[in-house]
Structure 1
Protein backbone atom coordinates (compact mmCIF):
# COMPACT_ATOMS: atom_id res chain seq x y z
CA UNK A 1 0.00 0.00 0.00
CA UNK A 2 2.86 2.38 0.78
CA UNK A 3 4.41 1.90 -2.66
CA UNK A 4 1.03 2.51 -4.32
CA UNK A 5 0.41 5.62 -2.24
CA UNK A 6 3.82 7.02 -3.15
CA UNK A 7 3.07 6.30 -6.81
CA UNK A 8 -0.12 8.35 -6.51
CA UNK A 9 1.81 11.24 -4.93
CA UNK A 10 4.35 11.22 -7.76
CA UNK A 11 1.57 11.08 -10.34
CA UNK A 12 -0.41 14.06 -9.05
CA UNK A 13 2.84 16.01 -8.55
CA UNK A 14 3.44 15.75 -12.31
CA UNK A 15 -0.08 16.81 -13.29
CA UNK A 16 -3.57 17.15 -11.76
CA UNK A 17 -5.57 13.90 -12.14
CA UNK A 18 -9.18 12.83 -11.83
CA UNK A 19 -9.87 9.24 -10.85
CA UNK A 20 -9.88 7.91 -14.40
CA UNK A 21 -6.60 9.64 -15.24
CA UNK A 22 -5.06 8.40 -12.01
CA UNK A 23 -5.97 4.82 -12.89
CA UNK A 24 -4.66 5.19 -16.44
CA UNK A 25 -1.28 6.51 -15.31
CA UNK A 26 -0.72 4.24 -12.29
CA UNK A 27 -2.44 1.10 -13.58
CA UNK A 28 -4.22 0.74 -10.23
CA UNK A 29 -7.75 -0.65 -10.03
CA UNK A 30 -10.37 2.06 -9.72
CA UNK A 31 -11.43 1.08 -6.19
CA UNK A 32 -7.82 0.91 -4.97
CA UNK A 33 -6.83 4.25 -6.51
CA UNK A 34 -9.91 5.94 -5.05
CA UNK A 35 -9.40 4.47 -1.57
CA UNK A 36 -5.73 5.49 -1.42
CA UNK A 37 -6.28 8.96 -2.89
CA UNK A 38 -9.09 9.69 -0.42
CA UNK A 39 -6.88 8.45 2.42
CA UNK A 40 -4.07 10.76 1.31
CA UNK A 41 -6.60 13.59 1.04
CA UNK A 42 -7.68 13.08 4.66
CA UNK A 43 -4.08 13.77 5.72
CA UNK A 44 -3.83 16.70 3.25
CA UNK A 45 -1.06 14.95 1.34
CA UNK A 46 -3.24 15.46 -1.72
CA UNK A 47 -6.01 18.02 -2.27
CA UNK A 48 -8.54 18.89 -4.98
CA UNK A 49 -8.35 21.73 -7.45
CA UNK A 50 -11.38 23.69 -8.72
CA UNK A 51 -12.09 20.96 -11.29
CA UNK A 52 -12.11 18.26 -8.61
CA UNK A 53 -8.77 16.77 -9.71
CA UNK A 54 -6.22 15.58 -7.19
CA UNK A 55 -3.12 17.76 -6.75
CA UNK A 56 -0.34 17.82 -4.11
CA UNK A 57 -1.71 18.85 -0.73
CA UNK A 58 -0.48 21.47 1.78
CA UNK A 59 1.01 18.87 4.14
CA UNK A 60 3.76 18.19 1.60
CA UNK A 61 4.78 21.82 1.66
CA UNK A 62 4.70 21.95 5.45
CA UNK A 63 6.85 18.82 5.71
CA UNK A 64 9.34 20.25 3.23
CA UNK A 65 9.46 23.48 5.21
CA UNK A 66 10.59 21.63 8.34
CA UNK A 67 13.86 20.70 6.63
CA UNK A 68 16.58 23.37 6.75
CA UNK A 69 15.73 25.88 4.08
CA UNK A 70 18.19 28.76 3.90
CA UNK A 71 15.90 30.86 1.69
CA UNK A 72 13.04 30.52 4.17
CA UNK A 73 15.34 31.15 7.13
CA UNK A 74 16.71 34.31 5.54
CA UNK A 75 13.19 35.53 4.74
CA UNK A 76 11.91 34.98 8.26
CA UNK A 77 14.54 37.42 9.52
CA UNK A 78 13.10 40.11 7.23
CA UNK A 79 9.39 39.44 6.69
CA UNK A 80 8.21 40.62 10.14
CA UNK A 81 9.71 44.07 9.50
CA UNK A 82 8.08 44.19 6.07
CA UNK A 83 4.73 43.29 7.60
CA UNK A 84 5.09 46.04 10.20
CA UNK A 85 6.11 48.69 7.68
CA UNK A 86 3.28 47.88 5.25
CA UNK A 87 0.58 46.75 7.69
CA UNK A 88 -0.38 43.99 5.23
CA UNK A 89 0.09 40.23 4.87
CA UNK A 90 3.48 39.18 3.51
CA UNK A 91 4.52 35.89 1.90
CA UNK A 92 7.48 34.17 0.29
CA UNK A 93 6.83 31.96 -2.75
CA UNK A 94 8.94 29.40 -4.58
CA UNK A 95 8.05 27.93 -7.97
CA UNK A 96 7.48 24.17 -8.17
CA UNK A 97 6.57 23.18 -11.71
CA UNK A 98 3.36 24.92 -12.76
CA UNK A 99 2.63 26.00 -9.18
CA UNK A 100 4.03 28.47 -6.70
CA UNK A 101 4.25 27.36 -3.09
CA UNK A 102 4.07 29.64 -0.06
CA UNK A 103 7.11 28.72 2.04
CA UNK A 104 6.82 31.53 4.61
CA UNK A 105 4.10 33.96 5.68
CA UNK A 106 3.57 36.67 8.30
CA UNK A 107 0.09 38.06 8.98
CA UNK A 108 -1.05 41.28 10.68
CA UNK A 109 -2.02 40.65 14.29
CA UNK A 110 -5.49 42.14 13.79
CA UNK A 111 -7.82 43.37 11.08
CA UNK A 112 -8.75 42.13 7.64
CA UNK A 113 -6.07 39.83 6.19
CA UNK A 114 -5.19 38.02 2.99
CA UNK A 115 -4.31 34.73 4.63
CA UNK A 116 -2.11 32.33 2.64
CA UNK A 117 -0.92 29.55 4.98
CA UNK A 118 2.54 28.07 4.56
CA UNK A 119 2.38 25.09 2.20
CA UNK A 120 -0.40 26.59 0.07
CA UNK A 121 0.00 25.85 -3.64
CA UNK A 122 -1.26 28.46 -6.10
CA UNK A 123 -1.14 28.43 -9.92
CA UNK A 124 1.60 30.19 -11.87
CA UNK A 125 -1.01 31.58 -14.26
CA UNK A 126 -1.79 34.82 -12.38
CA UNK A 127 -0.77 37.01 -9.47
CA UNK A 128 2.22 39.25 -8.86
CA UNK A 129 4.41 36.49 -7.37
CA UNK A 130 3.69 34.25 -10.34
CA UNK A 131 4.74 37.06 -12.68
CA UNK A 132 8.02 37.59 -10.85
CA UNK A 133 8.87 33.89 -10.81
CA UNK A 134 7.94 33.60 -14.50
CA UNK A 135 9.88 36.72 -15.50
CA UNK A 136 13.17 35.19 -14.45
CA UNK A 137 12.43 31.60 -15.55
CA UNK A 138 14.48 29.79 -18.17
CA UNK A 139 13.12 30.03 -21.75
CA UNK A 140 11.64 26.52 -21.88
CA UNK A 141 9.82 26.96 -18.56
CA UNK A 142 8.59 30.39 -19.60
CA UNK A 143 7.10 29.07 -22.84
CA UNK A 144 5.15 26.42 -20.95
CA UNK A 145 3.90 28.94 -18.39
CA UNK A 146 2.77 31.49 -20.99
CA UNK A 147 0.39 28.95 -22.55
CA UNK A 148 -2.08 29.37 -19.65
CA UNK A 149 -1.02 32.71 -18.21
CA UNK A 150 -2.78 36.03 -17.75
CA UNK A 151 0.53 37.79 -18.48
CA UNK A 152 2.62 38.13 -21.65
CA UNK A 153 6.29 38.21 -22.61
CA UNK A 154 6.00 41.97 -23.04
CA UNK A 155 4.61 42.49 -19.54
CA UNK A 156 7.32 40.25 -18.06
CA UNK A 157 10.01 42.28 -19.83
CA UNK A 158 8.62 45.38 -18.11
CA UNK A 159 8.72 43.58 -14.75
CA UNK A 160 12.38 42.67 -15.28
CA UNK A 161 13.14 46.31 -16.11
CA UNK A 162 11.20 47.71 -13.15
CA UNK A 163 12.20 45.05 -10.61
CA UNK A 164 8.74 44.25 -9.23
CA UNK A 165 5.24 43.18 -10.29
CA UNK A 166 1.75 44.06 -9.12
CA UNK A 167 -1.68 42.52 -9.56
CA UNK A 168 -5.26 43.45 -8.75
CA UNK A 169 -8.01 40.82 -8.44
CA UNK A 170 -6.02 38.25 -10.44
CA UNK A 171 -5.62 35.48 -7.88
CA UNK A 172 -8.78 36.27 -5.95
CA UNK A 173 -11.51 38.89 -6.23
CA UNK A 174 -10.86 41.93 -4.07
CA UNK A 175 -7.19 41.11 -3.44
CA UNK A 176 -4.20 43.16 -4.62
CA UNK A 177 -0.52 42.29 -4.32
CA UNK A 178 2.98 43.37 -5.19
CA UNK A 179 6.03 41.09 -5.44
CA UNK A 180 9.79 41.35 -5.98
CA UNK A 181 12.50 38.78 -6.73
CA UNK A 182 14.82 37.21 -4.16
CA UNK A 183 18.25 36.19 -5.49
CA UNK A 184 20.79 33.68 -4.21
CA UNK A 185 24.58 34.17 -4.08
CA UNK A 186 24.87 33.44 -7.82
CA UNK A 187 22.28 36.08 -8.70
CA UNK A 188 19.62 33.54 -9.71
CA UNK A 189 16.02 34.32 -8.70
CA UNK A 190 15.04 31.64 -6.18
CA UNK A 191 11.84 33.10 -4.68
CA UNK A 192 9.41 36.00 -4.74
CA UNK A 193 8.53 38.06 -1.69
CA UNK A 194 5.01 39.52 -1.70
CA UNK A 195 2.78 41.97 0.10
CA UNK A 196 -0.94 41.33 -0.33
CA UNK A 197 -4.21 42.65 1.02
CA UNK A 198 -7.68 44.00 0.17
CA UNK A 199 -7.87 46.21 -2.92
CA UNK A 200 -9.83 48.75 -0.89
CA UNK A 201 -6.76 49.22 1.31
CA UNK A 202 -3.91 48.44 -1.10
CA UNK A 203 -5.33 50.47 -4.00
CA UNK A 204 -5.37 49.56 -7.68
CA UNK A 205 -1.70 50.52 -8.04
CA UNK A 206 -0.11 49.03 -4.91
CA UNK A 207 3.38 49.51 -6.33
CA UNK A 208 3.05 53.30 -6.05
CA UNK A 209 2.95 53.03 -2.27
CA UNK A 210 4.72 49.78 -1.40
CA UNK A 211 7.45 49.11 -3.97
CA UNK A 212 10.21 50.88 -2.01
CA UNK A 213 9.66 48.85 1.17
CA UNK A 214 9.14 45.64 -0.78
CA UNK A 215 12.28 45.90 -2.91
CA UNK A 216 14.31 46.82 0.17
CA UNK A 217 13.02 43.66 1.90
CA UNK A 218 13.80 41.50 -1.16
CA UNK A 219 17.32 42.97 -1.27
CA UNK A 220 17.76 42.29 2.45
CA UNK A 221 16.79 38.64 2.03
CA UNK A 222 19.11 38.34 -0.97
CA UNK A 223 21.96 39.87 1.03
CA UNK A 224 21.52 37.26 3.72
CA UNK A 225 21.68 34.51 1.12
CA UNK A 226 24.97 35.95 -0.14
CA UNK A 227 26.36 35.88 3.41
CA UNK A 228 25.01 32.62 4.97
CA UNK A 229 26.87 33.17 8.21
CA UNK A 230 24.47 36.02 9.00
CA UNK A 231 21.36 33.78 8.80
Structure 2
Protein backbone atom coordinates (compact mmCIF):
# COMPACT_ATOMS: atom_id res chain seq x y z
CA UNK A 1 0.00 0.00 0.00
CA UNK A 2 1.42 3.38 -0.99
CA UNK A 3 2.26 5.87 1.73
CA UNK A 4 1.22 8.95 -0.22
CA UNK A 5 -2.32 10.16 -0.79
CA UNK A 6 -3.23 10.45 -4.46
CA UNK A 7 -6.63 11.98 -3.72
CA UNK A 8 -5.87 15.56 -4.81
CA UNK A 9 -5.41 14.65 -8.45
CA UNK A 10 -2.10 16.55 -8.54
CA UNK A 11 0.43 13.75 -8.42
CA UNK A 12 3.57 15.83 -7.83
CA UNK A 13 1.90 17.67 -4.94
CA UNK A 14 0.73 14.42 -3.35
CA UNK A 15 4.23 13.01 -3.64
CA UNK A 16 5.81 16.15 -2.18
CA UNK A 17 3.47 15.96 0.82
CA UNK A 18 4.31 12.28 1.23
CA UNK A 19 8.02 13.08 1.27
CA UNK A 20 7.60 15.84 3.84
CA UNK A 21 5.41 13.57 5.98
CA UNK A 22 8.03 10.82 5.84
CA UNK A 23 10.83 13.17 6.84
CA UNK A 24 8.70 14.61 9.65
CA UNK A 25 8.84 11.14 11.22
CA UNK A 26 12.64 11.28 11.33
CA UNK A 27 15.60 12.12 9.11
CA UNK A 28 15.76 9.94 6.02
CA UNK A 29 18.45 8.82 3.61
CA UNK A 30 17.42 8.64 -0.03
CA UNK A 31 16.94 4.89 0.26
CA UNK A 32 14.81 5.30 3.38
CA UNK A 33 12.80 8.06 1.74
CA UNK A 34 12.14 5.87 -1.29
CA UNK A 35 11.10 2.95 0.92
CA UNK A 36 8.84 5.08 3.13
CA UNK A 37 6.96 6.62 0.19
CA UNK A 38 7.29 3.71 -2.26
CA UNK A 39 8.52 6.21 -4.84
CA UNK A 40 11.39 5.41 -7.20
CA UNK A 41 14.67 6.79 -5.90
CA UNK A 42 15.06 9.15 -8.86
CA UNK A 43 11.57 10.58 -8.28
CA UNK A 44 12.10 10.93 -4.53
CA UNK A 45 15.46 12.61 -5.09
CA UNK A 46 14.08 15.04 -7.69
CA UNK A 47 11.18 16.16 -5.50
CA UNK A 48 13.22 16.29 -2.29
CA UNK A 49 15.86 18.40 -4.02
CA UNK A 50 13.16 20.83 -5.21
CA UNK A 51 11.80 21.04 -1.66
CA UNK A 52 15.31 21.78 -0.43
CA UNK A 53 15.55 24.74 -2.80
CA UNK A 54 12.50 26.21 -1.07
CA UNK A 55 13.93 25.31 2.39
CA UNK A 56 11.04 22.95 3.12
CA UNK A 57 13.66 20.21 3.45
CA UNK A 58 17.32 20.45 4.37
CA UNK A 59 20.35 18.14 4.44
CA UNK A 60 22.06 16.97 7.59
CA UNK A 61 25.84 16.59 7.85
CA UNK A 62 25.35 12.90 7.04
CA UNK A 63 23.48 13.78 3.86
CA UNK A 64 20.07 12.71 5.14
CA UNK A 65 16.94 14.71 4.48
CA UNK A 66 15.49 16.66 7.43
CA UNK A 67 12.76 19.26 7.79
CA UNK A 68 13.91 22.69 6.68
CA UNK A 69 13.51 26.11 8.32
CA UNK A 70 10.62 27.17 6.09
CA UNK A 71 8.07 24.99 7.87
CA UNK A 72 8.83 26.29 11.33
CA UNK A 73 8.92 29.84 10.00
CA UNK A 74 5.52 29.52 8.36
CA UNK A 75 3.91 27.78 11.31
CA UNK A 76 5.26 29.65 14.27
CA UNK A 77 5.54 33.25 13.16
CA UNK A 78 7.07 35.78 15.54
CA UNK A 79 6.55 34.83 19.17
CA UNK A 80 4.91 37.38 21.48
CA UNK A 81 7.83 36.97 23.88
CA UNK A 82 10.34 37.86 21.19
CA UNK A 83 8.38 40.91 20.06
CA UNK A 84 7.85 42.13 23.63
CA UNK A 85 11.52 41.72 24.46
CA UNK A 86 12.65 43.41 21.24
CA UNK A 87 10.50 46.55 21.49
CA UNK A 88 12.40 48.45 24.24
CA UNK A 89 15.77 47.20 22.97
CA UNK A 90 15.07 48.52 19.48
CA UNK A 91 13.77 51.85 20.77
CA UNK A 92 16.99 52.34 22.72
CA UNK A 93 19.04 51.33 19.69
CA UNK A 94 17.33 53.92 17.51
CA UNK A 95 17.82 56.57 20.19
CA UNK A 96 21.52 55.75 20.43
CA UNK A 97 22.24 55.66 16.70
CA UNK A 98 19.64 57.89 15.06
CA UNK A 99 19.18 55.17 12.45
CA UNK A 100 16.38 52.69 11.74
CA UNK A 101 16.30 49.26 13.39
CA UNK A 102 14.64 46.08 12.14
CA UNK A 103 14.17 42.54 13.37
CA UNK A 104 13.96 39.81 10.73
CA UNK A 105 12.90 36.18 10.82
CA UNK A 106 13.37 33.57 8.13
CA UNK A 107 10.14 32.79 6.28
CA UNK A 108 10.84 30.19 3.65
CA UNK A 109 12.55 31.78 0.67
CA UNK A 110 12.34 35.29 2.15
CA UNK A 111 13.16 37.15 5.34
CA UNK A 112 10.29 39.01 6.96
CA UNK A 113 10.51 42.18 9.02
CA UNK A 114 8.66 41.29 12.23
CA UNK A 115 9.49 44.50 14.14
CA UNK A 116 10.82 47.94 13.22
CA UNK A 117 11.64 51.21 14.92
CA UNK A 118 12.30 54.50 13.15
CA UNK A 119 13.85 57.78 14.32
CA UNK A 120 11.38 60.61 14.79
CA UNK A 121 12.99 62.83 12.16
CA UNK A 122 15.64 62.99 9.48
CA UNK A 123 16.35 60.90 6.41
CA UNK A 124 16.12 57.21 7.29
CA UNK A 125 15.34 53.79 5.88
CA UNK A 126 11.77 52.58 6.39
CA UNK A 127 11.02 48.85 6.28
CA UNK A 128 7.33 48.27 7.10
CA UNK A 129 6.56 45.40 9.44
CA UNK A 130 5.48 42.42 7.35
CA UNK A 131 7.78 43.26 4.45
CA UNK A 132 9.33 40.19 2.83
CA UNK A 133 12.81 40.83 1.49
CA UNK A 134 15.34 38.94 -0.57
CA UNK A 135 17.72 36.37 0.87
CA UNK A 136 20.25 37.00 -1.90
CA UNK A 137 21.43 40.45 -0.77
CA UNK A 138 21.84 42.55 2.34
CA UNK A 139 23.56 42.15 5.69
CA UNK A 140 20.65 40.28 7.32
CA UNK A 141 20.65 37.74 4.49
CA UNK A 142 24.39 37.27 5.01
CA UNK A 143 23.80 36.42 8.65
CA UNK A 144 21.18 33.79 7.79
CA UNK A 145 23.55 32.33 5.19
CA UNK A 146 26.53 32.34 7.55
CA UNK A 147 24.62 30.16 9.98
CA UNK A 148 23.63 27.66 7.26
CA UNK A 149 19.92 28.51 7.33
CA UNK A 150 19.82 29.40 3.63
CA UNK A 151 21.77 28.76 0.47
CA UNK A 152 22.71 32.13 -0.98
CA UNK A 153 25.26 33.43 -3.50
CA UNK A 154 27.74 34.76 -0.95
CA UNK A 155 31.45 34.02 -0.88
CA UNK A 156 32.34 31.26 1.61
CA UNK A 157 35.23 33.30 3.01
CA UNK A 158 32.89 36.23 3.62
CA UNK A 159 30.49 33.97 5.53
CA UNK A 160 33.37 32.60 7.60
CA UNK A 161 34.19 36.21 8.52
CA UNK A 162 30.56 36.89 9.48
CA UNK A 163 30.63 33.95 11.88
CA UNK A 164 33.96 35.07 13.33
CA UNK A 165 32.90 38.71 13.75
CA UNK A 166 29.36 38.03 14.93
CA UNK A 167 27.87 40.51 12.46
CA UNK A 168 27.59 41.33 8.75
CA UNK A 169 27.48 44.60 6.85
CA UNK A 170 26.45 45.68 3.38
CA UNK A 171 26.49 48.89 1.34
CA UNK A 172 24.18 49.39 -1.64
CA UNK A 173 23.79 45.61 -1.93
CA UNK A 174 20.03 45.17 -1.66
CA UNK A 175 19.10 48.71 -2.63
CA UNK A 176 21.10 51.60 -4.06
CA UNK A 177 21.80 54.21 -1.42
CA UNK A 178 21.11 51.89 1.52
CA UNK A 179 23.59 50.43 4.00
CA UNK A 180 23.14 48.16 7.00
CA UNK A 181 24.80 46.10 9.68
CA UNK A 182 23.15 43.01 11.19
CA UNK A 183 23.74 40.52 14.00
CA UNK A 184 22.20 37.13 14.83
CA UNK A 185 19.92 36.72 17.84
CA UNK A 186 20.17 33.33 19.54
CA UNK A 187 17.90 31.51 21.95
CA UNK A 188 19.42 29.94 25.09
CA UNK A 189 19.59 26.57 23.28
CA UNK A 190 21.77 28.09 20.56
CA UNK A 191 19.11 28.29 17.84
CA UNK A 192 19.12 31.43 15.71
CA UNK A 193 15.68 32.99 16.20
CA UNK A 194 16.05 36.34 14.41
CA UNK A 195 18.46 38.89 12.96
CA UNK A 196 18.70 42.41 14.39
CA UNK A 197 19.68 45.17 11.94
CA UNK A 198 20.58 48.84 11.82
CA UNK A 199 20.03 50.48 8.44
CA UNK A 200 20.23 53.94 6.95
CA UNK A 201 21.48 56.02 4.02
CA UNK A 202 24.73 54.69 2.59
CA UNK A 203 26.27 58.16 2.48
CA UNK A 204 25.83 58.46 6.24
CA UNK A 205 27.08 54.95 7.07
CA UNK A 206 30.04 54.80 4.68
CA UNK A 207 32.71 53.52 4.55
CA UNK A 208 31.70 50.87 7.10
CA UNK A 209 28.34 50.57 8.86
CA UNK A 210 29.93 48.04 11.23
CA UNK A 211 32.78 50.35 12.20
CA UNK A 212 30.23 53.02 13.04
CA UNK A 213 27.56 51.08 14.88
CA UNK A 214 28.68 47.51 15.63
CA UNK A 215 29.24 48.18 19.33
CA UNK A 216 25.73 49.54 19.78
CA UNK A 217 24.25 46.73 17.68
CA UNK A 218 26.03 43.95 19.55
CA UNK A 219 25.13 45.48 22.91
CA UNK A 220 21.47 45.60 21.85
CA UNK A 221 21.65 42.02 20.60
CA UNK A 222 23.11 40.87 23.93
CA UNK A 223 20.39 42.72 25.82
CA UNK A 224 17.72 41.06 23.68
CA UNK A 225 19.23 37.60 24.16
CA UNK A 226 19.35 38.22 27.88
CA UNK A 227 15.64 39.04 27.88
CA UNK A 228 14.93 35.78 26.05
**TM-score of the superposition, structure 2-length normalised?**
0.64
CA distance in 1, matches of 2:207, 2:81: 33
| Aligned equivalent of 1:135 | 146
| Aligned equivalent of 2:175 | 172
**Structure 1, gaps ≥5 residues long:** 1-10, 12-60, 226-231
| Aligned equivalent of 2:163 | 160
| Aligned equivalent of 2:27 | none
RMSD in angstroms over aligned alpha carbons?
1.9
Is 1:85 paired with 2:96? yes
Is 1:186 paired with 2:154? no
CA distance in 1, matches of 2:103, 2:158: 22
How much does 1:202 deviate? 1.1
How much does 1:207 deviate? 0.7
| Aligned equivalent of 2:121 | 110
Moved beyond 3 Å, runs of 4+: none
| Aligned equivalent of 2:57 | none
Equivalent residue runs for 1:19-34 within 5 Å = none
CA distance in 2, matches of 1:199, 1:187: 32
| 1:208 alignment partner, one of 211, 216, 222 | 211
How much does 1:167 deviate? 0.1
1:140-184 alpha-carbon deviations (Å, 9 max, x no partner): x54xx22xx2x2222111100001000000111000000011111
CA distance in 1, matches of 2:82, 2:135: 20
1:73-96 alpha-carbon deviations (Å, 9 max, x no partner): 211120000001110000000011
CA distance in 1, matches of 2:109, 2:142: 12
CA distance in 1, matches of 2:171, 2:121: 23
**TM-score of the superposition, structure 1-length normalised?**
0.64
Is 1:101 paired with 2:112? yes
**Structure 2, gaps ≥5 residues long:** 1-12, 14-73
| Aligned equivalent of 2:202 | 199
| Aligned equivalent of 2:225 | 222
